[in-house]
């Protein structure tokens, strides 16, 4: 057995400043020695969304101290590390630059290898932080900026089945929350409101649900929510109106995701006839319990097992970046100090799909 690797991970692609230290070997659940996340939710809440310039400045102010705290919690020094892994994209490029440049500085000063990680790959491999999931597996990646179905063959090896042709599902949650005057971030707020709502009150559309393939569309659904709210002819929506709209929206999203995932499961069986039938859902929206329950049913109907990372590993975190870095490092990836931050970085670089060019 190879010696365990100790990786420091840095994540700054959006509005969480995150640092983690983990130790392990590929294919086995690692020991997470530290996993710190500093959220900027309160900072961005007055704007109803992330302000890139404010996010980047907050990363600059917080990152050095967070790295020090993570190493202290892990009871390690830089000399104990095998490598540094940092998100190199995609994301808000100002934030990506902060984390990547910090990682470069540490790598140079401490003579440590640098591994640039695709943020989406962090999500894609995050399930292997806590579960021994074998390759290949089917992945539904749902977050604020991304909505994709992919076959995961291994680190760096992805096959795109479908992606959103307009808005990501997490963005749809945020915009719907804003229309309903629910707090930011929108995903948890809509889910909470929906608990007391009637999902059948508003007949909202299920875009693309009856079409073949695995693509998604959510812009029309957002518009339908707005029209439904305006159709009530009220200056201010009552709490039950908000709850019912939230529940109706969440039900529509869930139906669409389950349907498209069903098509992807059929294709996965054809492409990988001898593989374990595993559907992984990852990304921030994967924390939604209503979505998980319905995906679990859809997976079971097709002989698949649904697996999702724990909630703390669904939202942005550095443990997933450290783990992806460990898996890539073990395969020989080493990046130079010339590595550039990327605002867009698709997992399947061969896919000819507008939704994959992220």
pLDDT band of 2, cuts 50, 70, 90: confident
pLDDT at 355: 57
Do 183 and 83 belong to one domain?
Answer: no
Do 83 and 108 belong to one domain?
Answer: yes
Q: pLDDT tens across 48-79, in order?
A: 889 999 999 999 999 999 999 999 999 999 99
pLDDT at 21: 98
Q: pLDDT tens across 268-300, in order?
A: 999 999 999 999 999 999 999 999 999 999 999
pLDDT at 275: 98
> What average pLDDT score do residues 87-110 get?
97
Do 214 and 295 belong to one domain?
Answer: yes
Do 264 and 336 belong to one domain?
Answer: no
Whether the model clears a pTM of 0.85, i.e. scores above it, the answer is yes
Residue 36, domain CATH: 3.30.420.40
Do 146 and 281 belong to one domain?
Answer: yes
Do 268 and 303 belong to one domain?
Answer: yes
pLDDT at 54: 95
Q: How far is CA 274 from CA 137, 139, 265, 345, in A?
A: 11, 17, 13, 30
State how many domains the chain has. 2
Residue at a domain's end among 274, 292, 308: 308
Contacts of 222 (CB under 8 A, 6+ apart): 167, 172, 175, 176, 179
Taking 70 as the threshold, does the pLDDT of residue 118 lie above it?
A: yes
With CA atoms as reference, report the closest residue to 287 among 319, 309, 305: 309
Taking 90 as the threshold, does the pLDDT of residue 41 lie above it?
A: no
Q: pLDDT tens across 235-275, in order?
A: 999 999 999 999 999 999 999 999 999 999 999 999 999 99
Burial of 28 (0-12, 13-18, 19+ CB in 10 A): exposed
Taking 60 as the threshold, does the pLDDT of residue 356 lie above it?
A: no
pLDDT at 102: 98
For the beta carbon of residue 31, count every other beta carbon within 10 angstroms: 12
Do 91 and 141 belong to one domain?
Answer: no
Do 206 and 304 belong to one domain?
Answer: yes
pLDDT at 144: 83
pLDDT at 228: 97
**Residue 256 near residue 206, CB atoms below 8 Å:** yes
Q: pLDDT tens across 305-327, in order?
A: 999 999 999 999 999 999 999 99
Residues 89 and 122: their CA atoms lie apart, in Å, by: 11
Taking 80 as the threshold, does the pLDDT of residue 1 lie above it?
A: no
With CA atoms as reference, report the closest residue to 217 among 276, 172, 185, 157: 172
**Residue 195 near residue 187, CB atoms below 8 Å:** no
pLDDT at 145: 85
Q: pLDDT tens across 166-224, in order?
A: 999 999 999 999 999 999 889 999 999 999 999 999 999 999 999 999 999 999 999 99
Q: What's the start-to-end Cα distance of the chain, in Å?
A: 37
Residues 268 and 353: their CA atoms lie apart, in Å, by: 18
Do 189 and 283 belong to one domain?
Answer: yes
Structural domain of 203? 137-308
**Residue 317 near residue 129, CB atoms below 8 Å:** no
Do 149 and 213 belong to one domain?
Answer: yes
Q: pLDDT tens across 317-354, in order?
A: 999 999 999 999 999 999 999 999 999 999 998 887 66
Do 187 and 124 belong to one domain?
Answer: no
Burial 196-206 (b: 16+ CB within 10 A, else e): ebebeebebeb
> What average pLDDT score do residues 99-122 get?
98
Do 124 and 152 belong to one domain?
Answer: no
Taking 90 as the threshold, does the pLDDT of residue 120 lie above it?
A: yes
pLDDT at 358: 52
């Amino acid at each position: 057995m190879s010696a365990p690797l100790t990786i420091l991970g840095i994540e700054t692609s959006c509005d969480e400043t995150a640092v983690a230290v983990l130790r392990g070997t590929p294919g086995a659940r690692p020991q997470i020695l530290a996993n710190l996340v500093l959220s900027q939710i309160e900072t961005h809440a007055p704007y109803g969304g992330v302000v890139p310039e404010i996010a980047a400045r907050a990363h600059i102010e917080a990152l050095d101290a967070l790295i020090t705290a993570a190493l202290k919690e892990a009871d390690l020094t830089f000399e104990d590390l095998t490598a540094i892994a940092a998100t190199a994209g995609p994301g808000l490029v100002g934030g990506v630059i902060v984390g990547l440049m910090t990682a470069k500085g540490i790598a140079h000063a401490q003579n440590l290898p640098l591994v640039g990680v695709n943020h989406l790959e962090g999500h894609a491999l995050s399930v292997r932080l806590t579960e021994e999931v074998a390759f290949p597996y089917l992945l539904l990646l749902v977050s604020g900026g991304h909505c994709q179905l992919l076959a995961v063959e291994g680190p760096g090896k992805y096959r795109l089945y479908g992606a959103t042709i307009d808005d990501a599902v997490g963005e749809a949650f945020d915009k719907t929350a804003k229309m309903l005057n629910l707090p930011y971030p929108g995903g948890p707020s809509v889910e909470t409101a929906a608990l007391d709502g009637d999902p059948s009150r508003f007949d909202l559309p299920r875009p693309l649900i009856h079409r073949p393939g695995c693509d998604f569309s959510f812009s029309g659904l957002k518009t339908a929510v707005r029209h439904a709210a305006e159709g009530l002819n009220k200056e201010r929506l009552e709490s039950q109106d908000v709850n019912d709209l939230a529940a109706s929206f969440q039900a529509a999203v869930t139906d669409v995701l389950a349907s498209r995932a069903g098509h992807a499961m059929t294709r996965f069986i054809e492409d990988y006839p001898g593989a374990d039938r595993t559907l992984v859902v990852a990304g921030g929206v994967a924390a939604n319990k209503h979505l998980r329950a319905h995906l679990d049913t859809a997976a079971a109907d097709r002989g698949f097992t649904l697996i999702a990372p724990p909630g703390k590993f669904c939202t942005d975190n550095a443990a997933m970046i450290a783990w992806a870095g460990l898996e890539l490092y073990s395969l020989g990836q080493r990046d130079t100090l010339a590595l550039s931050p990327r605002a867009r970085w698709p997992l399947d670089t061969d896919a000819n799909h507008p939704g994959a060019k992220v």
